[in-house]
Amino acid sequence: MSNVVLGVTGSIAAYRAADLARELMRGGCTVRVCLTPSAEKFVTRVLFESLTGQPCLVWAFDEPEAGRMAHIDWARQADLLVIAPATANILNKLAAGVADDMLSTIALAYTGPMLVAPAMNPAMLANDTTQESLRRLVARGVEIVQPAEGEVACGEHGQGKLASVSEIASAALALIGWTRSLRGRRVLITSGPTREPIDSVRFLSNRSSGKMGAALAKAALWMGAEVTVVTGPTSVPPPLGASVVKVETAQEMLAAASEEAPAADLILAVAAVADYRVAEPSRGKIRRTAEDLLLRLVPNPDVVAELGRIAKPGAVLVGFAAEPTDDLAVAREKLERKGLHFIAANDVSRPGIGFESDENELVLIGRQGPPERSGTLSKIACARWLLERVARALPG
């Protein structure tokens, strides 16, 4: 049984949330409803309590179980948060992290997948602020069921009508199906750059931001996996809920990941591991002289190839390759050489995707079948796209 929290906000379409709650219950979900105070002007708490057999929350300090903070309990227990209908106000609040009523407080405390079905006047939807908020929510992995075009309640014509109940329910049930696909699986992710010391204050590194690794960790958590991230120094922290091991060098990354690898079902090597390290890093600070300075570099271990050797039978290994995606020969060669099941190539030479960017475009190459292209997606959508595909290769 999946737990859905259904948030209903103050749109005239609020009455349709009753049918949506029933559809989700028919789909096998336990549904708990949270109304905003404005939604309560259109529909009542009693309606939803009678329909769902569950308490309905409205006010920030509502506490159906004495002594328990409902906003935290509901956020923790939910497998999915659906907000339908979602007004411009809630979208803008979600995007900004405002928590000034029960629903927005639950949303801020919630870390799982979220589905939002906007409904509003067309001008409010087209407003730059609302559009900016929608973009920010999409970048965070929130799924949007786009409002339909037609005559809206205020008499205007345009985009803003709540999507059909069946459309919202099927999007919600699809997300729930998806949230189960890695349940009980252990996922190990190497992420970020490594730092190879030159002396006590300098190092060799690269431009990996760790964003893709963090996105994969978040998506894997949403899919129910237990996630460990072994990460080099990044500005983007791995998501809450993942266990995190911080490392600096490739050798440290190999040692930390080797502890986890034998238990992992899925290994995602996203880290941009330095291929070489300085053979003899100086203990102190290297001082400037008039002479040339020669650093001797020695090869680092290939982390993912080593992990493949100690992984359990049936474990799926996925590597990443920063390669031009119009020539996949090099990526294919890496797939073979490193003993991977999949390699995801991304073209870092293209502006706007890859390193440091919020978007990515992957070509997923498996051992069999033709490569698949994700198209340009937010990194979190890319992560979902990839995990859906590689999860199918896991033994039943």
Return the active site residues: 154
- Cβ proximity of 80 and 2 under 8 Å: yes
- Chosen residue from 321, 364, 383, 387 binding ligand CTP by CB under 6 A: 321
Give the footprint of ligand CTP on residues 174-203 (CB under 6 A). Answer: 190
Determine, following the binding rule CB under 6 A, whether residue 234 of this chain makes contact with ligand CTP.
no
Site string for ligand CTP, 261-300 (x = CB under 6 A): --------x-x-x-x------------------------x
**Minimum distance from residue 319 beta carbon to ligand CTP (Å):** 3
332 by Cβ neighbours in 10 Å (0-12 / 13-18 / 19+) ranks as middle
Closest CA to 286 of 199, 214, 375: 199
Nearer to ligand CTP, 36 or 300 (CB): 300
- Chosen residue from 260, 302, 347, 361 binding ligand CTP by CB under 6 A: 302
User: What is the spatial distance between Cα 369 and Cα 389, in angstroms, rounded to a whole number?
Assistant: 12
Residue in the block written with tokens 């709650």: 21
Determine, following the binding rule CB under 6 A, whether residue 303 of this chain makes contact with ligand CTP.
yes
- Chosen residue from 108, 198, 295, 322 binding ligand CTP by CB under 6 A: 322
**Minimum distance from residue 263 beta carbon to ligand CTP (Å):** 18
Query: Mapping DSSP to helix (H, G, I), strand (E, B) and coil, where does residue 334 land?
Result: helix
**10 CB contacts (<8 Å, ≥6 apart)?**
36, 37, 38, 39, 41, 42, 87, 89
Determine, following the binding rule CB under 6 A, whether residue 211 of this chain makes contact with ligand CTP.
no
Determine, following the binding rule CB under 6 A, whether residue 250 of this chain makes contact with ligand CTP.
yes
- Chosen residue from 10, 85, 319, 366 binding ligand CTP by CB under 6 A: 319
Query: Mapping DSSP to helix (H, G, I), strand (E, B) and coil, where does residue 302 land?
Result: coil
User: What is the spatial distance between Cα 2 and Cα 176, in angstroms, rounded to a whole number?
Assistant: 7
Determine, following the binding rule CB under 6 A, whether residue 39 of this chain makes contact with ligand CTP.
no
Burial 194-217 (b: 16+ CB within 10 A, else e): bbbbbeeeebbbeebbbbbbbbbb
| Residues in contact with ligand CTP by the rule CB under 6 A | 190, 250, 269, 271, 273, 275, 300, 302-304, 319-322, 334, 338
